[in-house]
Chain A
Amino acid sequence: MCKTFGAVRANDDISLALAKGKIHGIVGENGAGKTTLMNVLYGCQRADAGEIYINGARRSLRSSAAAIRAGIGMVHQHFMLVDNFSVLENIMLGCERGMFLGANSPGPRQARAELQRLAAEYALHADPDALTGDLPVGAQQRVEMLKTLVRGAEILILDEPTGVLTPQEADDLFRILRVIRGQGKTVVLITHKLREIMAVSDRVTVMRDGRVVAVRETEDTSAGELSELMVGRAVVMEYSAAPPRDSGAALTVKNLRVRDRQRVVRVRDVNLSLRSGEILGVAGVAGNGQSELLEALAGMCKVDGGEIIFHRGGGEGDGGGQGEAAAGSSPSQLRAAGIAHVPEDRRATGMVAVENASHAAILGYHCEAQYRRGQTPRGIFFDWPFISAQTRRRMDEFDVRPPLPEIRAAQFSGGNQQKLILAREMVREPRVLLIGQPTRGVDIGAIEFIHRKILALRDQGSAILLVSVELEEILALADRIAVMFNGAVVGETPAAAADEKQLGRWMAGVRDES
């Protein structure tokens, strides 16, 4: 199978064989071509060349409808559900069995019966009358799987299914996948989390740069070998952490409360403290208030109550540092005070994607005198040659590829965009760095680089608040870990004493009994 987009060979002569009744893993970095391959299989995109055979018969999958008829079902990374529909309506959409859908029409009746049957057979439970948008993500994912099963899928493709799940929910998913396999169906699991591939798959295909680089029986391989195959070289993801140098309190958050525009409480009475020279990791399933916490601290949204105090100086122990209240400060005031922020959504908030890289490299600090012609703060024109030269130096320092300040920020890969933003925020050696999802959509090689930069900044004495939905990232970097659920901090622990099961329970909202 071949598929090119312009000059990019997204899929270059791919051959893939799926055995019936097996769980088949496909791993690869971002941009390795996994998603393109699946889109071709599901009829969303047409391959330039190649053939697809199902049970020995050649099939042409020109549309999603054809793929569904051929027995292929797909659970997309972003759920394809209508939020304000009931579960039953979502299940029926596209296979209604007739024009009319009154309560006694065959469509709704059969769909209900089918749901009951599947609940019994696969232990996939979903209330047909619940509003889909109100369900937790794990349950929404079950609805997606039910959709494919109701349509009679024999081959089930799951694209990054665990990205939004707690570890326990992921385990539950794997249990269901094993049941599905037990029923003689074929499962394709696309992921970048090797641990999961090792836990649940029978066979793994590794993709790199649009090609299949290896196929392994899971029992004959290891996570280490797979990651080497994915990246093309050995990757070390464990960092030897220097013990944090405690040099006083840097940030104190007291009873912080944030509501969103719909007046819904997003952050409820959060208390946190962050010391210089340490990394506090804020873990949690996406959407539990971490984003809002980060935005509130960075001065990007209004605070509803509580206190945010960034301590000046430090080195004087608890409460000794002279505090400055920050609730209500604007992002530029905070930046001037040495509080740097690497936002979660780098394309939307971290840069202006259509402008060139040197804009991205000074954004937020563009008022500094050094960037003005004549080097005076009152200069009204930018000194572009200087900015360009400085950006070029920082690109070298942070390994941004290609190191060309004049090309548009949008044209860099996710990892290089992130490195560009990190360079901007880190070179000033901030007292406090607020950083959200530093490696989302970033490939493994760049992840390692970014992690090392974050640790180096910590070792220089900065206080770092790291928000990430990747538990592994938190475990690899943080000195202390706080877990948020539904806007509140459910638990906090030193990283050295962290237990993944415990963190998973906190992520699901279970507090410790005490």
Chain B
Amino acid sequence: MPSLELLLSVLDSSVRLAAPLVFAALAGLYSERSGVVDIGLEGKMLAAAFAAAAAAAVTQNAWLGLCAGVAASCTLALVHGFACITHKGDHIVSGMAVNILAFGLTVILGIAWFAQGGRTPFLGSDARFGALVFPGADAVAPLPLLGPVYRELLSGHNILVYLAFACVAATAWALYRTRFGLRLRAVGESPAAVDTAGISVAFLRYRAVLICGVLCGFAGAYLSTAQGAAFISGMTAGKGFIALAAMIFGKWRPWPVLSACLLFGFFEAGAAHIQGVSLPLVGAVPVQAVQALPYLFTVVILAGFFGAAVAPRAAGKPYTRGEH
């Protein structure tokens, strides 16, 4: 069944391409649910991708790379938090500054440290996150349908992919079943209610921003040490913004956000598969047109064509006691 194989292969790469989006979109979810708008997901991912690849290249250890990536991303997250929470700055301006800073800094440090034109050294298999093959994957392969699904779709991804999906469940639980989640949702809607309940608005928001940093760190490390095998300048290529779109499309809720990320992953995977394929009426689809699809879709979503997305009410508004 070649069509099943094709479908499985597209779905398989959808999952793989969706994983970093899931991390980044959840990162944005935490931040924005707390009331801090974050368009700096892209920059944090980029910084993390660079730090992870650089550390992994030096230490030859993917896990140390991941730690470095998370550290870099958290640093930028705290800068954003310091500007937006402590100094009540404009969230968009600060987020954009993070993006610009990350883009410039990764290139300059890359050239200074590795002298490969901004690239980091190619990582061997030890320094990357390799595929995990589930037990019995080959044994069940002959089974109709279930076999290939188990072998191709479920098994054979790197550990970060599984972690990304686990994060969705963890976020859903944390948001609706814990004290932190209750307060997080409250502070993004009505910081004054949180403040008058005797809870520190700033501390809550800093925690959310830090979680955002950690998750962006995972997303960035995924790009350079799991999906790829080195850092290339600008390698996030707008994924941070696509994640932002997925977060909005998923209406700031964990499970719908996952669906949105998978949809974007599917677009990207599909685009790779229909490149060069001749479609009826249209003829051969230009590569560029296909590659532009996810971005076009992002613009369409962010422009609000799919019904008005209702953001957390206090998102983007600095909280000052007595002014609301």
Pairwise interchain contact A82-B185, C-beta atoms closer than 8 A = yes
Of chain B, the residue at the smallest CB distance from A84 is B189
Q: Which 3 A-B pairs have the closest CB atoms?
A: A94-B197, A65-B198, A80-B193
Pairwise interchain contact A44-B190, C-beta atoms closer than 8 A = no
Which residues in A have their C-beta under 8 angstroms from that of B198? 63-68, 94
Residue A39 interfacial (CB < 8 Å) = yes
Residue A102 interfacial (CB < 8 Å) = yes
Complex-state Cα separation, A76 to B180, whole angstroms: 24
Pairwise interchain contact B178-A101, C-beta atoms closer than 8 A = yes
Pairwise interchain contact A89-B190, C-beta atoms closer than 8 A = no
Q: A39-B322, A78-B324 are in contact. Are A100 and B197 (CB under 8 A)?
A: no
Mark interface residues in A59-100 (1 if CB within 8 Å of B CB, else 0).
000011111100000101010111111000110111110111
Pairwise interchain contact A89-B182, C-beta atoms closer than 8 A = yes
Of chain B, the residue at the smallest CB distance from A35 is B322
Which residues in B have their C-beta under 8 angstroms from that of A82? 185-186, 189-190, 193
> Which B166-187 residues sit within 8 Å CB-CB of chain A?
177-183, 185-186
> Which B194-208 residues sit within 8 Å CB-CB of chain A?
194-199
Pairwise interchain contact A64-B196, C-beta atoms closer than 8 A = yes
Which residues in A have their C-beta under 8 angstroms from that of B197? 64, 68, 80, 93-95, 147
Q: Is the interface of B mostly helix, strand, loop or mixed?
A: helix
Residue B192 interfacial (CB < 8 Å) = yes
Residue B321 interfacial (CB < 8 Å) = yes
Of chain B, the residue at the smallest CB distance from A102 is B177
Known: A82-B186, A94-B197. 13 other contacts (CB 8 A): A44-B195, A64-B197, A78-B324, A80-B197, A84-B189, A89-B186, A93-B194, A94-B198, A96-B179, A99-B179, A99-B180, A102-B177, A147-B197
* 17 A-B pairs with C-beta separation under 8 A: A64-B196, A68-B198, A76-B196, A80-B192, A80-B197, A89-B182, A93-B182, A94-B183, A94-B194, A94-B197, A96-B179, A99-B179, A100-B177, A100-B179, A101-B177, A101-B182, A102-B177
Complex-state Cα separation, A155 to B322, whole angstroms: 21
Complex-state Cα separation, A102 to B185, whole angstroms: 16
Interchain nearest-CB distance for A406 vs B (Å): 27
From the candidates A63, A93, A107, name the one contacting B186 in the complex (CB within 8 A).
Answer: A93
Interchain nearest-CB distance for B323 vs A (Å): 11
Which residues in A have their C-beta under 8 angstroms from that of B196? 42, 44, 64, 74, 76, 80
Interchain nearest-CB distance for A5 vs B (Å): 11
Which residues in B have their C-beta under 8 angstroms from that of A65? 198-199
Complex-state Cα separation, A67 to B196, whole angstroms: 10
Between A89, A92, A93, the greatest number of chain B beta carbons within 10 A of the residue's beta carbon is seen for A93
Interchain nearest-CB distance for A132 vs B (Å): 10
Pairwise interchain contact B182-A80, C-beta atoms closer than 8 A = no
Which residues in B have their C-beta under 8 angstroms from that of A102? 177
Interchain nearest-CB distance for A156 vs B (Å): 14
Which residues in A have their C-beta under 8 angstroms from that of B181? 101
Which residues in A have their C-beta under 8 angstroms from that of B185? 82, 85
> Which A99-151 residues sit within 8 Å CB-CB of chain B?
99-102, 107, 147
Pairwise interchain contact B186-A85, C-beta atoms closer than 8 A = yes
Interchain nearest-CB distance for A146 vs B (Å): 13
Pairwise interchain contact A81-B179, C-beta atoms closer than 8 A = no
Pairwise interchain contact B322-A99, C-beta atoms closer than 8 A = no
Interchain nearest-CB distance for B208 vs A (Å): 16
Of chain B, the residue at the smallest CB distance from A99 is B179
Of chain A, the residue at the smallest CB distance from B321 is A44
Interchain nearest-CB distance for A475 vs B (Å): 32
